[in-house]
Amino acid sequence: MNDSTTTGPSQTETNPLRSYYVFLIVFVLLAALTIAVSLFFMHSAVVSFDGVFARSDDITRAQVMLENVSRLLLEVNAAGNDIFETRDLPRETARFRQASAQLRRALADAPTAHFSRAGFEAHFDEMLRAEERIFSLFSEILDPAGTTRPEQEILGEAAARMAEMDRAQLHAMSVLREAANALIREHQVIQDEGRRVLNERWWRELVVLTFVTVSLGSGWFLWRQLQQVHEHFVREQQRVQEERRNRLASVGEVCFSVAHGIKNPVAAIASSAQLVLEYGHLDDASRQRIADLLTSTRSLSARVTQLLNFSRVGPTHRERFTPKDVFTWSLRELEPTLVDQGIRVLREDDDNAAILEGDRNILIQAVQELLGNAKDVLPQGGTITLRVVTPEEDPKSVELCVVDDGPGMPDDVKKRAFELFFSRKPQGTGVGLATVRRAVELHQGSVRILDARPHGADVRIRLPRVSASVSGGRVAQ
């Protein structure tokens, strides 16, 4: 449902302030967007740092691998050199094979992006072939029965193979040094990138922080301006309400004076017309004129009663009662008329936990006015629903709802529906709904008109409820 009109001051205040609230919301959204951008920048910086750290870890592992390969390469070469001194073929061969196997495993686990594995393995294989030949030659020396060559000749060939082994080792070490230098250069690039990311992070955060500060400062300034405007409109609304109360008080005094002066003569005319109609010897035409006169005086009497009701200054009798009591008593006079018109009345008012306090008769007359208006706009077979609800936003209040499934009210009519002397009816006085508002305001309540679904009007009277445990006394029945 759309809240179409209300009698409280908030409606008048909200419309002029709407643009300011929209402006404030825009600033809040900009600040939220700025914070989101800041978080995005921080996330980007963290991701960049993670990338830098990951690459740095890769380089560190590669450097450790190169150092390990270099150490194992020296260990492999040492076995081929030491055999000339120790001549312990089993021991040096075991050292050679163990170091070679470890180096092979290290190469298998090593990343290929940091050095030329193929070039290194070519030199390493050349070194292994030369070293294996050295061990083969020393096998001949240590087993003279298996060869006819002199020892000096064999040692000379072994020395030549050792020279080949050392050259292959130097070439392999050269490949490792080139890889190590490449890692150093890449590590320097990563460090530079890390410093750049850090500088960008601080620069972005400085820009975002500046923008956030400006946005929050602007928002605070706007909020202060909004508070001042709000206070101005509150004072203006209070002034308008005071003028309205004074004007209504003046109108009420005039209405009371005029209505009080008319009431007795109208009652006398009605009584006389009734007597003439009942006991006079009249022809049909005269009897019809007297009947029309009686109808007109009764209508005038009803309007005088409306003016007297509007001129009330407060509840004349205070008691405690339930919303269901108000609906029940309101229907007692109108129910026959509603039945004759074929209008159904649905009751959804079993919320007996709600207790009201005030002048029950005034509220009954207000509800009867709403029922009468609904009856006037409903076609044959229409429906009126009487409902009691507790507003979610104000659980200390209760709403008495009169809902019809008629054509509803246009928005321009809803805005002025409770104004005094405003009416769309050709014979309307414009006092009925103004009297409803007056009765509700006398009980510190409010009244509003909503759109019913799928069509129709939903008039809601909101009144403060009285707790049964606090109120004490007897609830009127």
Average pLDDT score, the chain: 78
For residue 99, the model assigns a pLDDT of: 92
The structure tokens listed for 146 are 């298996």
Summarised one tens digit per residue, pLDDT across range 231-259 is 887 888 778 767 766 665 555 555 555 55
pLDDT at 168: 92
Q: Which residue has the higher pLDDT, 114 or 199?
A: 199
Residue 385 in contact with residue 403, Cβ under 8 Å? yes
Contacts of 126 (CB under 8 A, 6+ apart): 164, 168, 171
- 229 token code pair: 């405007």
CA 461 to chain centroid: 31
Return phi, psi of residue 356, to 5°.
Answer: -110, 160
Q: In angstroms, rounded to a whole number, what is the distance separating the alpha carbons of residues 322 and 477?
A: 8
Distance of alpha carbon 176 from alpha carbon 170, whole angstroms: 10
Q: Looking at mean pLDDT, say which of 91-105, 136-150, 252-266 comes out highest.
A: 91-105
Cα(357)–Cα(315) distance, rounded to whole angstroms? 10
- What amino acid is encoded at 426 in this protein? P
Buried-state track 160-197, b at ≥16 Cβ within 10 A, e below 16: ebbebbeebbebbbebbeebbeebeebbeebeebbeeb
End-to-end CA distance of the chain: 33
Joined together, the tokens standing for residue 145 give 């029965």
Q: Report the C-alpha gap between 78 and 127 in whole angstroms.
A: 12
As a whole number of angstroms, the distance between CA 80 and CA 158 comes to 10
Q: What is the pLDDT of residue 353?
A: 72
How do residues 194-216 score in pLDDT, each as one tens digit?
A: 788 777 777 777 777 777 777 77
- How confident is the model over 162-173, as pLDDT tens digits? 999 999 999 989
3-state secondary structure at position 354: coil
**Weakest-pLDDT range from 75-84, 119-128, 261-270:** 261-270
What pLDDT was estimated at residue 266? Answer: 64
Residue type, 61: R
Three-state SS at 123:
helix
Lowest mean pLDDT among 190-204, 212-226, 265-279: 265-279
Contact 118, 102 (CB under 8 A): no
The whole-number pLDDT of residue 169 equals 92
Share of the chain above pLDDT 70, in %: 77
Structural contact between residues 272 and 294, judged by C-beta atoms closer than 8 angstroms:
no
Task: Name the burial class of residue 2, with classes exposed (0-12), middle (13-18) and buried (19+) by CB atoms within 10 angstroms of its CB.
Answer: exposed
Q: Can you read off the two tokens belonging to residue 171?
A: 């070439």
Burial of residue 131 (number of CB atoms within 10 Å: 0-12, 13-18, 19+): buried
Which of 59-63, 278-282, 342-346, 401-405 shows the lowest per-residue confidence on average (mean pLDDT)? 278-282
Q: What is the mean pLDDT of residues 273-278?
A: 72
For the cut 70, the answer to whether the pLDDT of residue 217 exceeds it is yes
What's the whole-model pTM score? 0.44
Q: Residue range 288-310: average pLDDT?
A: 66
Task: Tell me the C-alpha distance between 215 and 221, whole Å.
Answer: 10
Residue 90 is predicted with a pLDDT of: 92
Residue 110 and residue 61: Cα distance in Å, rounded?
A: 9
pLDDT recorded at residue 126 = 93
- Provide the pLDDT for residue 8: 44
Q: How far is it, in rounded angstroms, from Cα 262 to Cα 442?
A: 25
- pLDDT level of residue 475 (50, 70, 90 thresholds): low
Contact yes or no for 252/313 (Cβ under 8 A): yes
CA distance 207 to 220: 20
- In this predicted structure, the answer to whether residue 284 has a pLDDT above a threshold of 50 is yes
Token pair of 331, please? 């229907």
pLDDT of residue 272: 72
